Structure 1
Amino acid sequence: MRDPRVTELARLLVRYSMEVTSGDKVMIDLFGERDELVRALIDEIGQAGGQPVVQVNNDALLRRQLLVATEEHMDFLARHDLDRMKEMDCYVAIRGQENINELADVPADKMKLYTERYSRVVHNERVNNTRWVVLRYPNPSMAQLAGTSTEAFEDFFYQVCTVDYQRMDRALDPLVKRMEEAEEVRITGPGTDLTFSIKGMPAIKCAGKANIPDGEVFTAPVRQSVNGVITYNTASVYQGTTFEKIRFEFEDGKIVKATANETEKLNQILDTDEGARYIGEFSLGINPDIHHPMLDTLFDEKINGSFHFTPGRAYAECDNGNQSAIHWDIVNIQRPDYGGGEIYFDGERIRKDGRFTVSDLEPLNPENLRA
């Protein structure tokens, strides 16, 4: 018998996140081996009159392909998968890999081929021309990263993934307004003193339409306005490597110095192309039930009291002109248990130690979003 929580999640993805209607072609992109949600999605898409298209991925086999990859090979794969993606109206990715470090030993030049000549091409079509949503799926590996039992992680997963996103959507409106009216942002905290402009940039609220779990508002800094230093206090997995103690120094928008536990590999990523050393996204996380990092961006970037500051490509909805094959969401948590910190819009403090301190934004503090 199917877990009713799986059915509830599938219904949310099909009816709310993607809004599948009759005749829609919906790609279900599975990463990992657990297919319970895929089966539930096929049923829900069929009931909505859509046409499910299932694709199954294996990172171990992808690694083998990348080790022998050539430009011609990546261009062929990109053309093939791009043509298929162009046929899709909706897209849902279910990511439940058993080993998040499967690509860690792929040489940097091969990863660059993959990100520039394949991922960037197919990703742009998917993001810009489908109604898409991306989520993880619980497995023992994810539970281990979260430091919990598998059963406890599954309970946590369904709790944070099926919150009242319509309520959250309404509560985010005042933050959108403030971000779109602000000109200068300043962020301070341990090892961090950063200033940048968001003048004229749109702010996009995220409440279950594109990511599950969700809960953020993002914008982008004016490309050459970022100055100062940021020290991230959460680890981040990117291209199969776990990075810790990441620190960036900025001059006129560009990362001019970058260090971490893996400084050489960090700088190889930032040297992928010119845009990788500029910032494409600034976002505030507000999910009331996600408190601690677990080396999974889709969860970590929604942590209440956090923000992320993203080297690489800007999203089309909030385009500051920065183009890159890289888009790397790295998270900083500003609650007192992570060292605290403050965020200012045009000199007014709007958040201190992870809590919103102005009356119109107080409904976004965790106890109010849960009410």
Structure 2
Amino acid sequence: MRDQRILQMARQLVHHSISVQKGEHVLIDVFGGGRDLARALIAEIYQVGAYPHFNLNDQSLLRAQLLNMTAEHMDRMAHFDYERMKKMDCYIGIRGSFNINELADVPADKMKLYSENYGNLVHTHRVNHTRWVIMRWPDPSMAQLAKMSTEAFEDFYFNVCTVDYQRMEKAMQPLVDRMNRTDEVRIKGPGTDLTFSIKGIPAIKCAGECNIPDGEVYTAPVRESVNGVLTYNTSTIYQGTTFDSIRFEFENGKIIKATSNNSQRLNEILDTDEGARYIGEFAIGVNPDIHHPMNDTLFDEKINGSFHFTPGRAYEEANNGNKSAIHWDIVNIQRPDYGGGEMYFDGELVRKDGMFVSEDLLALNPENLKA
């Protein structure tokens, strides 16, 4: 019998996350596993009276393709998928991977070609012109990243993906209001002393609409307002390469110095284009059931007590004008077990050691979101 949790997730995605309406066209984009969920989604979309479309992706075949990709070939491939995306009203991305490092040995110039041409064209349209949701699928490789058995990870996965998002959305509103009133943000912690302005840039709450799992409120810094130093205390995988101990120095918004365990590859990514060295997103993570990183962005950026500070492209809803082929969510956790830290809005301490301390924000602390 099909796992009832999969059917529940399909209903949540179709009815809550993207609110599919009769007569609409929905693209289901599958990477790795997730075929059971795709089948459930197809049935649920038909129940609504809408039209499901699907696409199966294989990272090992993408790697083989990219190794000898030419600009003309990439342009043709991107425009083919762009034309299909233009005909879609909704998009569901199921992101699994049998090998998270499948693209690690693709040369930097080929990855740049892919990011600039395919990503900018196809997925920029998807983000700005469809109702979309992206989620991970609990393949065994994800269980390995989480250092858990496959069965235990599946239980964890469904718990964090099906939290009470309506409760979370209500609790987020005071934080949205606070951020919309705030000019200067200061973040302090081990190896970190960072200041920037978010004045005039909207704060957006994310409670199960665009990402599953979800649980963040995001905005963007005023593009040239970022100054100081930021040391991330989680690892991150980007374009198939694992990075640790990333440290950025900022001057007037720009990353002027970047180091990590692989500083050469880090700087190659940051040199993709001009916007890659500026920040396109600042977000605060609040999912009450995600506590530790597992080198998967959709999970790690929602960790309670965390924030992420993202080199590259800004979202249209919270736009600071930064454009880039890159959008790289890198996470810092401020709970005591990760070294602690403080976050200030216009000089007022609003979060200490990963816990909100101002009265209007206490509902976002894990014990209250789970109550």
TM-score class, shorter: over 0.9
Q: 1:34 Cα shift? A: 3.8
- Are 1:204 and 2:211 counterparts? no
* Residue of structure 2 in register with 1:158 after alignment: 158
Q: How does 1:11-50 map to 2 (within 5 A)?
A: 11-50=11-50
* Residue of structure 1 in register with 2:319 after alignment: 319
Question: How far apart, in 1, do the equivalents of 2:296 and 2:37 lie?
Answer: 19
Q: Which runs of 5+ in 1 are unaligned?
A: none
- Are 1:266 and 2:271 counterparts? no
* Residue of structure 1 in register with 2:235 after alignment: 235
Q: 1:369 Cα shift? A: 0.3
Aligned sequence identity (%): 70
Q: 1:96 Cα shift? A: 1.1
Q: How does 1:70-149 map to 2 (within 5 A)?
A: 70-149=70-149
- Are 1:179 and 2:157 counterparts? no
Q: 1:21 Cα shift? A: 1.0
* Residue of structure 2 in register with 1:4 after alignment: 4
Deviations 1:144-190 (A, max 9, x none): 11011100000000001011111111110000000000000000000
Question: How far apart, in 2, do the equivalents of 1:60 and 1:179 lie?
Answer: 42
Question: How far apart, in 2, do the equivalents of 1:96 and 1:71 lie?
Answer: 27
- Are 1:368 and 2:368 counterparts? yes
Q: 1:41 Cα shift? A: 0.4
Describe the SS at the equivalent of 1:126.
Answer: helix
Q: 1:288 Cα shift? A: 0.2
Describe the SS at the equivalent of 1:23.
Answer: coil
Q: How does 1:231-310 map to 2 (within 5 A)?
A: 231-310=231-310
Question: How far apart, in 2, do the equivalents of 1:139 and 1:111 lie?
Answer: 24
Describe the SS at the equivalent of 1:172.
Answer: helix
* Paired letter, 1:279: I
* Paired letter, 1:253: G
Task: Name the Cα RMSD after superposition.
Answer: 0.5
Describe the SS at the equivalent of 2:291.
Answer: coil
Q: 1:120 Cα shift? A: 1.0
Displaced runs of 4+ in structure 1, greater than 2 A?
none
Question: How far apart, in 2, do the equivalents of 1:28 and 1:336 lie?
Answer: 40
Question: How far apart, in 1, do the equivalents of 2:241 and 2:188 lie?
Answer: 28
Question: How far apart, in 1, do the equivalents of 2:317 and 2:70 lie?
Answer: 32
* Paired letter, 2:67: L
Q: 1:225 Cα shift? A: 0.3
What is the aligned length? 371
Question: How far apart, in 2, do the equivalents of 1:147 and 1:48 lie?
Answer: 39
Q: Which runs of 5+ in 2 are unaligned?
A: none
Contact 2:194–2:228 (CA under 8 A) maintained in structure 1: yes
Question: How far apart, in 2, do the equivalents of 1:239 and 1:53 lie?
Answer: 27
Question: How far apart, in 1, do the equivalents of 2:66 and 2:15 lie?
Answer: 36
Contact 2:33–2:139 (CA under 8 A) maintained in structure 1: no
Question: How far apart, in 2, do the equivalents of 1:34 and 1:253 lie?
Answer: 40
* Residue of structure 1 in register with 2:59 after alignment: 59
* TM-score in terms of structure 1 length: 1.00
Contact 2:33–2:137 (CA under 8 A) maintained in structure 1: no
Question: How far apart, in 2, do the equivalents of 1:201 and 1:181 lie?
Answer: 10
Deviations 1:283-305 (A, max 9, x none): 00000000000000000000000
Question: How far apart, in 1, do the equivalents of 2:243 and 2:182 lie?
Answer: 32
Question: How far apart, in 1, do the equivalents of 2:18 and 2:99 lie?
Answer: 28
Contact 2:20–2:48 (CA under 8 A) maintained in structure 1: yes
